[in-house]
Amino acid sequence: MKRLQLQRWSGSVLSAQARTGGRLQQRLYYAIRHQSTASPAAPAGNDQLVKKQPQAPSISSPHSQKSRYRLPSPPVEAARESAKLAALHARLYLPSRLPLETLARSLVHPSADPNPNFNNESLATLGHDLLTYYASEHLICSYPRLPLTVIFAAMYAYVGPKTLAAMAREWGVESVAAPGGEVDPGYLQFQRLAPGTDVNPETITGTERPHDDEPTWRKSVTSRVVYDNEYGDPVKGPVDPSELAERDAQTSQGVTVEEANASFVSAVMGSIYLHAGRPAAKRFFEQHFLSRHLNISDLFNFSQPARDLARLCARENFEAPVARIVSETGRKSRSPVFVVGIYSGQDKLGEGAGASLLEAHFRAAVAALKGWYLYNPLDVRVPSSMEEEGAAPWKPVHVDLGEVIV
Amino acid sequence: MPIQGVRTVTTARNGVGAFILQCKQLDFHYCDWAGSSRGMVSYLKHQLPAFAKANPQIEIRVSPRPNKHPVIRGLFINGREKVICVRNLEPGAIIKKVNLLKEASGEKLKRTTKPVTSINESVRGIWSPYHGGIKSV
Amino acid sequence: MASCLVASKRPLLALPFFLSSPCESVVLDLRRNQSSYRRTTQRLRVKPDASFGSSLIHTQEDHIIHNPPSSAPSVYLTPSKFLPSNDVRKNLRTAPANSNNSEELPPVVRAPSEKKYHLTPSDIREIRRLRATDPMTWSRLKLAKRFECSPMFISLVCETSPQKKEIQKRVLEAVQSRWGSKRRMAREDRQLRREAWGRDQ
């Protein structure tokens, strides 16, 4: 990636204020902010859309203090005056090429300002893709045998909305009570949910999955790669522009604090990528995301480990697993302890301790399966390391057969 | 479904990757008239600009508080605040107080009794009587 | 014994004063206790473990001291059998594993049952017929006993009628309705503990 091109891109992000057209094609005619008196005429034959468009007042000079009350989010010039914003920039050690204006824009959630030129939606989309890319390549290369459900859980733990919201809190980002143009741009701008709103709708309909209206039907794990998102949650399929307006009307009713915070963290990642380039974005990911602590062995939940282990040994042509009592004490007492090891031939695969032979056997099978799934190759390199200057030639990483299918 | 994933959240380890300074804001309150603020006013005039330049990650607010003793208030990322009254203090002593606020984590002061506090697992595991070289007596 | 020693060491000092009557009592006082300092230190002076490599073979050469922790092995340590063939660690670890013999392996929990594969398609048809005609008498256990197979195999081959399932459910409900709060909570706790096994908690 050439730096020159990056600067050209970043210029387009910065100069968005001057343009009146939409960056995203599907939003071209929706939510146009009339910055100048010569606004483009809304297309005819789109009456419904025009009706729904909020009546944006025409602003004569954006510099006057009074006009700021009419804007949905702080103007670009305010970014240079905000002490909070500069402090946040310095606190995160953001590169100096990332201007304060972009950081201010990444703090505006679409629910506060529906205009895509002024909110962080595009930056957050880019940042989210980068985050999931870096996190998934790290997980798949360093733990090549992880089952898919555990990869989903680990992705959720690394870059899920809960984690991102916690990170924004740990960065000291404060959120506004209500968004507006007069607010300090150092605050996170979003429309809060009305009290009593149901945050968790029961089922998501309108996904691309066939027969998604049948809740009792089995969803295979493999189909979740195709139809679901990176955390294994169902996602809505592509919507046509008319429904997009409805969705925007929904978001303008408000979002949760968690969602707004998560969009800010993704947007910071996206803006670092745009302004400072790929190496800086990757360094930011390693320092802020990968450095967090996660014990992957805690993410497993087995239901029938002994059966899975037998299937695994059959698949890999090992001898069938046999449970053996390594040591025991107090068999006829109230609190006995058994230590059971699982052996395949001469080799011990795993062991577990429990108050009954059944429990110890179960735990031993869990330990053996974790020993298989948590295999970690030496000298792991991720594909994105090839983007560095003077990288060594690529050696293929370990690719596994996949999880045990029973 | 043979295996299910358990959803959790990663825990922060401040300083392992990036380090986030926990003091996010310092409020300086002074009085123009009162003698107890003399040192504070001198500090604000001469030392504070250099401190602010050296620590851009702290938002600094200076505001008068007439007829009251001078006060430094530090706001921290965990939501707590620490307030230090600096009446009759010389600028040199105020520098120390400001540094104290800057380097604080914001938590309540606690006595640490254990030499190491860690969320990492022990390298040699938790001792169990059923493992290791069991000797027959 | 100790008192004699003391007496012989300082004859000039001790004798002029203690020749008279109080000699017996002093002897008793000077007798040292069994738990003396030297004895306890001698007892605590344990030889280093054999695993520390003080054996005769390794006295001269450089060697690795292997002292495994007395704790359950970590799950992050992949067993050498599970390492792929191109992994360097596989060759490093193979040497000590070969020295074990099958006699040294601990006893098995339950001997693995031999599979007989003796049922013919006609037998299976018979199983299905019996279970369909009279599900109350021909339960899984009875069928397994009669055909000398496992109850698991019976459940693979056929399924009971919905009426039987309904009756069984009612019986279970009737039994559970007689449970008091203590028994019910104990059963629920047991179920929760069992679910925690799978999460390794």
Contact assignment for C75 to A344 by CB distance below 8 Å: no
Is residue B87, in this structure, part of any structural domain at all? Answer: yes
In this predicted structure, the answer to whether residue A105 has a pLDDT above a threshold of 90 is yes
Answer yes or no: do A263 and A315 share one domain.
no
Q: Which amino acid is at A22?
A: G
Query: Judged by CB atoms within 8 Å, which residues 37-56 of B form the interface with C?
Result: none
Domain that holds residue C174: 161-200
CA A394 to chain centroid, in Å, comes to 28
Mean of pLDDT values over C125-135: 91
A162 touches B: beta carbon within 8 Å? yes
Report which of residues A36 and B75 the model is more confident about.
B75
Task: Evaluate if pTM is beyond 0.90.
Answer: no
Contact B70, B31 (CB under 8 A): yes
- The nearest alpha carbon in chain B to C198 belongs to B3
Q: Residue B134: its chain A contacts at CB < 8 A?
A: 327
Q: Could you give the ipTM of this predicted complex?
A: 0.93
Contact assignment for A303 to B7 by CB distance below 8 Å: no
Answer yes or no: do A321 and A288 share one domain.
no
Secondary structure (H, E, C), chain C: CHHHHHHHHCHHHHHHHHCCCCHHHHHHHHCCCCCCHHHHHHHHCCCCCHHHCCCCCCCCCCCCCCCCCCECCCCCCCCHHHCCCCCHHHHHHHHHHHCCCHHHCCCECCCCCCCCCCCCHHHHHHHHHHHHHCCCCCCHHHHHHHHCCCHHHHHHHCCCCHHHHHHHHHHHHHHHHCCCHHHHHHHHHHHHHHHHHHCCC
Q: At what angle do helices A148-159 and A161-170 cross, to 10 degrees?
A: 20
Domain that holds residue A358: 302-384
Using alpha carbons, select from A54, A171, A73, A52 the residue that is nearest to residue A117: A73
Contact assignment for B1 to A221 by CB distance below 8 Å: yes
Q: What is the pLDDT of residue C94?
A: 60
- The nearest alpha carbon in chain C to B128 belongs to C71
Q: Tell the residue number behind the tokens 């059923």, with chain if given.
A: B130
Answer yes or no: do C173 and C194 share one domain.
yes
Q: How many domains does chain B have?
A: 1
Is residue B39, in this structure, part of any structural domain at all? Answer: yes
Q: Residue B129: its chain C contacts at CB < 8 A?
A: 70
Q: Which amino acid is at A352?
A: G
Answer yes or no: do C134 and C168 share one domain.
no
A355 touches B: beta carbon within 8 Å? no
Report which of residues A21 and A77 the model is more confident about.
A77
Instruction: State how far the alpha carbon of A23 is from the alpha carbons of A14, A18, A29, B4, in Å.
Output: 12, 12, 11, 41
Query: Judged by CB atoms within 8 Å, which residues 10-69 of A form the interface with B?
Result: none
At residue A65 the predicted structure's pLDDT band, cuts being 50, 70 and 90, is low
Q: What is the pLDDT of residue C184?
A: 96
In this predicted structure, the answer to whether residue C166 has a pLDDT above a threshold of 70 is yes
- The nearest alpha carbon in chain B to A339 belongs to B130
Q: How many domains does chain C have?
A: 2
Residues A365-382 pLDDT 10s: 999 999 999 999 998 999
Is residue C62, in this structure, part of any structural domain at all? Answer: no
B5 touches C: beta carbon within 8 Å? no
A244 touches B: beta carbon within 8 Å? no
Answer yes or no: do A210 and A290 share one domain.
yes
Beta strands B23-30 and B59-64, pairing class: parallel
Element holding A341 (H helix, E strand): strand A337-344
Using alpha carbons, select from A114, A109, A118, A122 the residue that is nearest to residue A31: A114
Q: What is the pLDDT of residue C95?
A: 56
Is residue A398, in this structure, part of any structural domain at all? Answer: no
Residues A269-289 pLDDT 10s: 999 999 999 999 999 999 999
CA Rg value for chain C? 37
Q: Residue B131: its chain C contacts at CB < 8 A?
A: 69-72
Separation of alpha carbons A184 and C140, rounded Å? 73
Answer yes or no: do C140 and C123 share one domain.
yes
Is residue C2, in this structure, part of any structural domain at all? Answer: no
Q: What is the pLDDT of residue C34?
A: 67
Report which of residues A213 and C124 the model is more confident about.
C124
Contact C51, C67 (CB under 8 A): yes
